[in-house]
Amino acid sequence: MLGPFEATVDGRRTGLPRGGQRVLLATLVLNAKEVVPVERLLDHLWGERLPDQPRGALYSCLSRLRTWLDRQRPGAAELLATSSGGYVMEAGPESLDLLRHRELVREAEAAGENGDLAERSAALQAALDLWQEPVLPNVRSDSLQREEVPRLTEEYLRTVERRCEAGLALGENDGVVAELRTLTGRYPFRERLWRLLMLALVRSGRRVEALRAYRQVSSQLRDEFGVDPDLELRRLQVAILRDDRAVIAR
């Protein structure tokens, strides 16, 4: 799920179902182990263009999806369960990259709590290695693209930020700078990324570049939204100007 929608069986890529079945499968897998209400499934499948008998059409689509699952592996249709108010896909981290990503993030946070910064960084990097952007470009559903993909992107960015924080804690300032240069180019209004970039630059002895980065994001925010950078960014700029090591080194 963390890139183009793909499925493999015994290590071999298999063709995905088409049309509504693909949208239905993607929606259920994105919310694996959670009940997906019928209303959300209908929205992702048809939006405002509902068929005459939407629930009947949904049941027909579900039936065809179960048939497809069983063709891939006998008994796999049992993974798609009916629950009160909706449906749930019983997939685990051993078969779904999204759940494996979350498992690795939890492992990283546990390592951080135990003071193992290197293990925390390695687990976060392993979690990020599962991603291939863009996310789900081959699933045609306006509603899913509008609601689910931004949620996934936010999850990715939070992991990126944690990985960069871990790199800074390990003193990997130059490597973090290179990574954040690319990321701030792709997500130019993500202020947390700019804050991390400024910290990495000043800790690398590149104070002028850190202040230049602040001016750049400040200009972009004003031009696009008519707002100043958030309080954290403004405080960091002042700390860099004053060479306040207590803030910069934190």
Three-state SS for 121-161 is HHHHHHHHCCCCCCCCCCCCCHHHHHHHHHHHHHHHHHHHH
Using an 8 Å Cβ cutoff, are 193 and 161 in contact? yes
Of the pLDDT bands very low, low, confident and very high (cuts 50, 70, 90), residue 250 is: low
Dump pLDDT digits (tens) for 133-173: 889 999 999 999 999 999 999 999 999 999 999 999 999 99
In a domain, 119, yes or no: no
Dump pLDDT digits (tens) for 178-194: 999 999 999 999 999 99
Q: Provide the CATH number for the domain around residue 233.
A: 1.25.40.10
* 80 strand-pairing partners: 89
| Lowest pLDDT segment from 105-119, 135-149, 235-249 | 235-249
Average pLDDT value for residue range 192-211: 96
**Which residue, 47, 69, 89, sits at the end of a domain?**
89
Angle, helix 191-203 to helix 207-225, in steps of 10 degrees: 170
Average pLDDT value for residue range 106-135: 95
Helix, strand, or coil (residue 204): coil
Average pLDDT value for residue range 2-25: 92
- The mean pLDDT value of the chain amounts to 94
**Which residue, 35, 64, 89, sits at the end of a domain?**
89
Range of the domain at 22: 7-89
Using an 8 Å Cβ cutoff, are 164 and 36 in contact? no
Q: Provide the CATH number for the domain around residue 33.
A: 1.10.10.10
Q: Over pLDDT 90: what percentage of the chain?
A: 88
Helix, strand, or coil (residue 49): coil
pLDDT at residue 245 in the model: 84
In a domain, 110, yes or no: no
The token duo for 196 is 């991390």
Burial of 198 (0-12, 13-18, 19+ CB in 10 A): buried
pLDDT at residue 30 in the model: 94
pTM for the model: 0.90
Using an 8 Å Cβ cutoff, are 2 and 130 in contact? yes
pLDDT at residue 246 in the model: 78
In a domain, 148, yes or no: no
Half-sphere exposure of 119 (CA within 13 A, CB side): 11
Average pLDDT value for residue range 116-128: 97
In a domain, 217, yes or no: yes
pLDDT at residue 84 in the model: 83
In a domain, 55, yes or no: yes
Integer CA distances (angstroms), 120 to 117, 125, 142, 160, 170, in order = 5, 9, 36, 13, 10
11 has a pLDDT exceeding 90: no
In a domain, 133, yes or no: no
Integer CA distances (angstroms), 123 to 64, 101, 103, 118, in order = 38, 9, 9, 9
pLDDT at residue 83 in the model: 86
Dump pLDDT digits (tens) for 26-39: 999 999 999 999 99
Using an 8 Å Cβ cutoff, are 81 and 67 in contact? no
Of the pLDDT bands very low, low, confident and very high (cuts 50, 70, 90), residue 96 is: very high
Dump pLDDT digits (tens) for 68-87: 999 999 999 999 999 888 99
Using an 8 Å Cβ cutoff, are 61 and 45 in contact? yes
Dump pLDDT digits (tens) for 36-73: 999 999 999 999 899 989 999 999 999 999 999 999 99
**Domain count of the fold of the chain:** 2
In a domain, 38, yes or no: yes
Q: Which candidate, 185, 216, 181, places its Cα nearest to that of 196?
A: 181
In a domain, 180, yes or no: yes
Q: Which candidate, 205, 204, 207, 211, places its Cα nearest to that of 233?
A: 211
**Which residue, 66, 89, 112, sits at the end of a domain?**
89
